[in-house]
Amino acid sequence: MRRLTSPPLTVVTAALVALTLLTDVAHAQKKTLVVALNQDPDILDPTLARTYVGRIVFAHFCEKLYEIDEGLRISPQLAAALPAITDGGRTVTIKLRAGVKFNDGTPMDADAVKFSLDRHRTLKGSNRASELAPVDTVEVVDPLTVRLRLKGPYSPLLAQLTDRAGMPVSPTAVKKLGDNFGTAPVCVGPWQFAERVAQDRIVVEKSSHYFDPAQAKFDKVVFRIIPDDNVRLANLRSGDIDVLHMVRPSDATAIKREGRFELSNVTGLGYQGVTINLHNKTGKQNPPGDLGTPLANDPRVREALELSIDREALNQVVWDGLYTPGCTPIPPISVFFDKTRKCPARDVARAKKLLAEAGLAGGYAFEMTIINNPAERRVGEVIQQMAREAGFNIALRPQEFASALKDDDDGKLQAFQVGWSGRVDPDGNIHMNQTCKGSLNTTLACDEKIDALLNRAREISDVDQRRALYREAIDMFSARRNIIYLYHLNYIVAFPKNFKGYKAVPDGLIRVKGTSWN
């Protein structure tokens, strides 16, 4: 009988090298890059959009006046230079890059930027309105200069212009498409919008109008929507996707061990938590109403809910300890982070006492909406189990991301396990969500004292003074608990080792511009 033997190690090694070379050659010839997202973005209109995954897509065909880098430094993108600030901070003059065209071939000039900023400020339903609320007027100085007249000094303005508030849109396309602009958006970018299939993919194609075409090494970038972590990982391993966004922490070690992929890991600027509806009965744009529930009306019930949750245990159980527990909207990487603040420890006995004082000694039931993917379900289940020990009976309601956001806007949710991707300036993490007329204040919580503190923080630039104002405001809205902040996540991205040029920025956005196969 012939004995079967294993091939010599040198043969195996040669085979692996050959396979790697073949893979590299295949990548080098591939002109389409496939990026996997864990959620489907909402409307692709910079004025109306609010999802984090939408910002990733926008980064490729809707560039901004200013950009941030790995060190959170701000630099011009479509602007030609940093703005000139005069008149005690009330006048901001922005010079624009010459020769820039929108992806429909029309000029991106001062008239277009004024049109876009005014649209962000005034369009009904705009989620940029509160970001630009201090802007009184936008003036065209000359074809390449715009001047913003402010109601008062506004220190976060430059940071706001590094995101959707700073994205110019084509006036020609807006006038042509009207309310349907988000179905075929036209901005400035190395790629242009080509196709969208809901819950499946978004495709962008190389633009013939971009001012620096060498930055687009791929003819197409396809964003595939794959909510299931296991399916995304399987697609990475099979080569059906090239870049895997939001790698599950429990998968990161295994991916690294395989040796075929690079892992990028950066602490994010945002937060995750539970948003609790207090007064939004018929929609965030309508007057507040009485929801008639103990969760909405009795702060003791919300305090009991927070005290039932162990942030450290949640991080360990769901995220393998790789995220950062927190109880404010400001992450530890921010210069505005308050190192003296201690998060409330879990206290089941006090939680039960508070429920009893609220007349709910027999327990309390409510519904919490969660995003319908495995990781978010796991977060919800851990919160559900912890809260049960204190007397809460939480029914979890899984829902697709974009539709859950709409229901949140419309006042249909009691509680919503959701987060915010974060901004360089803490104003972008707080003001829109916590002020009375904040464009993302879906809870309709309102306290003029909090508004005064947050508005004052917008007017000054001194870091220590602003940090003190945020500390006082956070004390106040932490007590009302319209948002119970739980943790700050890390953005982990995986891609093949021969994918070169990728830079991890703490906003967590995937930027394909300038990358290529080696």
Express each pLDDT in 91-134 by its tens digit. Answer: 999 999 999 999 999 999 999 999 999 999 999 999 999 999 99
Q: How far is CA 440 from CA 280, 307, 396, 433, in A?
A: 12, 26, 23, 5
In the numeric block, the tokens 């009976």 are attached to 393
Q: Give the predicted TM-score (pTM) of the model.
A: 0.86
What is the rounded CA–CA span in Å between residue 289 and residue 239?
51
pLDDT band at residue 27 using 50, 70 and 90 as cut-offs: low
* Euclidean distance between CA atoms 441 and 286, whole angstroms: 12
Three state DSSP letters for 371-436? ECCHHHHHHHHHHHHHHHCCCEEEEEEEECHHHHHHHHHCCCCCEEEEEECECCCCHHHHHHHHCC
Q: Which token pair is 183?
A: 């179905």
C-beta separation of 108 from 117 below 8 A:
no
d(CA 474, CA 470): 6
Architecture of domain 28-41+189-267+491-517: 3-Layer(aba) Sandwich (3.40)
- The pLDDT of residue 198 is 94
* Cα–Cα distance list, 511 to 39, 119, 304, 505, 507 (Å): 17, 26, 42, 9, 11
Helix (H, G, I), strand (E, B) or coil at 37: strand
Distance in angstroms (rounded) separating the CA atoms of residues 200 and 202: 7
Mean pLDDT over the full length of the chain: 93
The CATH T-level fold of domain 63-178 is Dipeptide-binding Protein; domain 1 (3.90.76)
Q: Report the CATH architecture of 271-488.
A: Roll (3.10)
Q: What is the residue extent of each domain of the chain?
A: 28-41+189-267+491-517, 63-178, 271-488
Question: Which of 15-29, 266-280, 317-331 is least confident?
Answer: 15-29
Chain segment 51-61, per-residue pLDDT in tens: 999 999 999 99
Q: Rounded CA gap, 267 and 333, in Å?
A: 7
Q: What is the 3-state secondary structure (H, E, C) of 100-120?
A: CECCCCCECCHHHHHHHHHHH
DSSP labels for 130-167?
Answer: TTTTTEEEEEEEETTEEEEEESS--TTHHHHTTTGGG-
